[in-house]
Amino acid sequence: GAVVSQHPSRVICKSGTSVKIECRSLDFQATTMFWYRQFPKQSLMLMATSNEGSKATYEQGVEKDKFLINHASLTLSTLTVTSAHPEDSSFYICSARKLGEPSYEQYFGPGTRLTVT
């Protein structure tokens, strides 16, 4: 199998604080991980692509200083939402590409619901 987990599944934080979301590939090595954001009744929007050991590539319009991505190992990527505001409330989803598989094959985590009060 190819299982991707996310932690936490839900988080509530106060405005101005930072929150970290973890994405782990449990049974495979992930050369690349992707972070998506999903608003209610809208599609998943790619935020950034991260490769192990290098800086993440952010999509246009995504603030890299606000959404810090770290991909320190082949099985873990973290997304830190800094100085969170209510408009950052959303569903964050990560996916991972397995080493040696075609680039279009992505394995998705179950998502993290962030609520900023």
Of 78 and 95, CB closest to another protein: 95
With CB under 8 A, what is the number of residues at the site for another protein? Answer: 22
Q: What is the DSSP string of the chain?
A: ---EEEE-SEEEE-TT--EEEEEEESSS-EEEEEEEEE-TTS-EEEEEEEETTSPPEEPTT--TTTEEEEEEETTEEEEEE-S--GGG-EEEEEEEEETTS-TT--EE---EEEEE-
Determine the residue type at 86: P
Of 66 and 113, CB closest to another protein: 113
Tell whether the torsion through CA atoms of 38, 42, 44 and 46 is positive or negative.
Answer: negative
**Rule CB under 8 A: which of 90-109 touch another protein?**
93, 95, 102-109
**Rule CB under 8 A: which of 13-72 touch another protein?**
32, 34, 41-46, 49
Give the shortest CB-89-to-another protein separation in angstroms.
18
Of 84 and 94, CB closest to another protein: 94
Choosing from 4, 21, 79, 114, the residue that interacts with another protein (CB under 8 A) is 4
Binding site for another protein (CB under 8 A): 4, 32, 34, 41-46, 49, 93, 95, 102-111
